[in-house]
Amino acid sequence: MKARCTECGTRYSMDSIRYECRCGGLLELVQDFRGVDAEQLKREFAKRLGERHTPLASGVWRYKELIAPELPLEALVTKGEGNTGLYSPPAVTSYAGCRRLWLKALGENPSGSFKDHGMTAAVSHGRFLGFRRFACSSTGNTSSSLAMYAALMGGEAHVYVPEGTVSENKVLQTLAYGAVVHRFAGTYDDGIRFLREQAGELGLYVGNSVNPFRIEGQKSIIYETAQDLSWQLPDWIVLPGGALSNVSALGKGLRDLYELGFIPRLPRVAVVQAEGASPFHRMMEAGAAELVPEPAPSTRASALNIGHPPSWRKAALVLQETKGVTVAVTDEDILNAKAVVDASGVGCEPASAAAVAGLRRLVSHGIIDREETAVCLLTGHLLKDTDAVGAYHLGGGPEALYANKMNRVRL
């Protein structure tokens, strides 16, 4: 297994773990697709939809040849992740305003968010190298996912969670899986910095998205979405951006599919940030060459509360390659979009609804045409942030346009 620096091209063997290049650039895995027969693989992927209790039944490991061909099946730590629904509720389509919309419900993953796609790959690689202790800095879902997989393999998880800004549901889920939860005063970005300096010495395998195996696993989100749609992707893929790992993985996955001839053209990518944590959108809008970190990010969509996204360079490249765009939306827009998604029966957490709010904004500004089609990646489950649900429906002010108040009766 080999990785390459995305900045200077230096190559590293991944027979020991490494998260960044000597030059400071992020690494990405090098896949060798020579000898891959795409048509035969397509038939194989279709056949594996009939598997039930093997590692290849997973919506990540179904695509093992394109993700981690060298990892032995016995090394995989898997819980049948992926295999999530793709829905097209008319109420959400008309709210967004485009011709056809699909919602990829990644909250249906085993720990309730898309992070499972990447974490099964990272923890499997860590176990393969002989690690038993894993760590991450997290806005919540990364820690739930890491804790779940570490528990499954009988290992140990150490998670670093900023105090006050993370959904309590996610922290409790992480505790329940048996992880050691370290809370600290600061932000996600401080946790990343701490692990960058300390993980090696502490013997910890880091499951954050600077880990290139996370990105390889997360590629399966777009593989599965494409397979769901018979390898016909829509005009746009719209997703929320925090650390920007998901858009980096999306870009790498799209490149794979295009190079292998699974899809005839690249869809365009739209990254949606919350206004209070939108350093990437501000950079793209200004056409700047460098990202200026946001020192005090603040949004109710806690999974997006990141001021210094580690993967911004990779993300910028993806937007360049796909003629992509960015947009920022307010917390009010996010929570109203969430209410529409929830009431459609699909449901998601606030950060996920940013995708739908962003799509609506892009359509209303004519950047996405009403005749175009889109997939929104709904990244996390409705029950991941029950405080947000209560605050909106029971305590919301006039800006909570779709609040569903309780009905008090005397029986």
Ligand X SMILES: *Cc1c(COP(=O)(O)O)cnc(C)c1O
Interface residue list for Zn ion (CB under 5 A): 5, 7-8, 10, 21, 23, 25
For residue 282, the number of C-alpha atoms closer than 13 Å in the C-beta half-sphere is 14
- Largest alpha-carbon pair distance within the chain? 72
Sign, Cα dihedral of 25, 207, 192, 142: positive
- Binding site partner of 243, from ligand X, Zn ion, none, Cβ cut-off 5-8 A by kind: ligand X
Instruction: Please report whether residue 353 would count as binding ligand X according to CB under 6 A.
Output: no
Q: Which residues contact 408 (CB under 8 A, 6 or more apart)?
A: none
Give dist(CA 125, CA 72) in Å, integer. 10
How near is the Cβ of 304 to ligand X at its closest, in Å?
A: 6
Side chain identity, residue 17: I
Question: Of 68 and 221, which has the nearer Cβ to ligand X?
Answer: 221
Segment contacting ligand X by CB under 6 A, of 73-81, 223-231, 234-242, 251-259: 234-242
Q: 3: which 2 tokens? A: 């990785």
Instruction: Please report whether residue 68 would count as binding ligand X according to CB under 6 A.
Output: no
How near is the Cβ of 101 to ligand X at its closest, in Å?
A: 18
Which of the residues 115 through 144 are near ligand X (CB under 6 A)?
Answer: 115, 141
For residue 303, the number of C-alpha atoms closer than 13 Å in the C-beta half-sphere is 35
- Binding site partner of 8, from Zn ion, ligand X, none, Cβ cut-off 5-8 A by kind: Zn ion
Segment contacting ligand X by CB under 6 A, of 69-77, 238-246, 250-258, 388-396: 238-246
Which of the residues 368 through 407 are near ligand X (CB under 6 A)?
Answer: 379-380
Give the contact letters, 140-169, x = binds to ligand X (CB under 6 A), - = no: -x----------------------------
Element (H, E) at 250: helix 245-259
Question: Total binding residues for ligand X by CB under 6 A?
Answer: 18
Side chain identity, residue 66: L
Is residue 345 within 8 A of residue 225, CB to CB? The reply is no
**Nearest residue relative to ligand X (C-beta):** 380
DSSP 57: G
Residue 379 counted as an annotated binding residue: yes
- Binding site partner of 242, from ligand X, Zn ion, none, Cβ cut-off 5-8 A by kind: ligand X
Angle between helices 115-129 and 141-152 (to 10 degrees): 40
Is residue 367 within 8 A of residue 325, CB to CB? The reply is yes
Residue 141 counted as an annotated binding residue: yes
How near is the Cβ of 71 to Zn ion at its closest, in Å?
A: 25
How near is the Cβ of 242 to ligand X at its closest, in Å?
A: 3
Residue 165 counted as an annotated binding residue: no
Question: Of 18 and 282, which has the nearer Cβ to Zn ion?
Answer: 18
Instruction: Please report whether residue 342 would count as binding ligand X according to CB under 6 A.
Output: no
Give dist(CA 24, CA 21) in Å, integer. 5
- Binding site partner of 351, from ligand X, Zn ion, none, Cβ cut-off 5-8 A by kind: ligand X
How many C-beta atoms surround the C-beta of residue 372 within 10 A? 17
Element (H, E) at 27: strand 27-30
Question: Of 18 and 42, which has the nearer Cβ to Zn ion?
Answer: 18
Q: Which residues contact 36 (CB under 8 A, 6 or more apart)?
A: 65, 66, 260
User: 């419900």: which residue's tokens?
Assistant: 105
Segment contacting ligand X by CB under 6 A, of 252-260, 339-347, 349-357, 388-396: 349-357
Residue from 246, 336, 344, 373 binding ligand X (CB under 6 A): 246
Instruction: Please report whether residue 81 would count as binding ligand X according to CB under 6 A.
Output: no
Is residue 55 within 8 A of residue 65, CB to CB? The reply is no
Residue 343 counted as an annotated binding residue: no
Give dist(CA 280, CA 114) in Å, integer. 21
Q: Tell me which residues touch ligand X (CB under 6 A).
A: 113, 115, 141, 209, 240-246, 303-304, 349, 351-352, 379-380
Q: Which residues are annotated as a binding site?
A: 141, 242-246, 379
Binding-site positions for pyridoxal 5'-phosphate: 141, 242-246, 379
